[in-house]
Amino acid sequence: MGSFGFGMIGFFRTLNEHAQTPQSARLHHEAIRFGECLVLGGLVATVLAGISHWNTLRRMERGEMPRAALWPLSITVALFVALLLAAGLWSVLTPR
């Protein structure tokens, strides 16, 4: 997620410099913001995965069995990306 966000930021920042119309400049700016959200989401997901892994290792060192999460991180990240996509589409498609 993070590397895709960095790619979006770089690509659309370059396109933003060559924007011909205010509409295309706004579209490129919104795509850059979406890429920034992807980078932030990737960072948060990585930190949360590290914490989850560390907790599982500590539980195993104590001789306990690892527990399956009631709300897995993968589902949380997928919902976050879906909401982010919906918000991005909403901001791009609604007239200003």
Instruction: For 21-68, write each residue's pLDDT tens digit.
Output: 888 888 888 888 888 888 988 898 899 889 989 999 999 999 998 887
User: Which range marks the domain in which residue 35 is found?
Assistant: 2-93
C-alpha distances (whole Å) from 21 to each of 40, 42, 57, 87 are: 29, 32, 54, 23
Query: What is the number of domains present in the chain?
Result: 1
> Which residue type is seen at 5?
G
Our measurement of the distance from residue 54's CA atom to the centroid of its chain's CA atoms, rounded to an integer in Å, reads 22
Count of C-beta atoms within a 10 Å radius of residue 35? 22
CA geometry: angle at 46 spanning 2 and 58, to 5°?
170
Instruction: For 58-93, write each residue's pLDDT tens digit.
Output: 999 999 988 877 778 888 888 888 888 888 778 777
Look at residues 76, 74, 80, 91 and name the one whose alpha carbon lies nearest to residue 33.
91
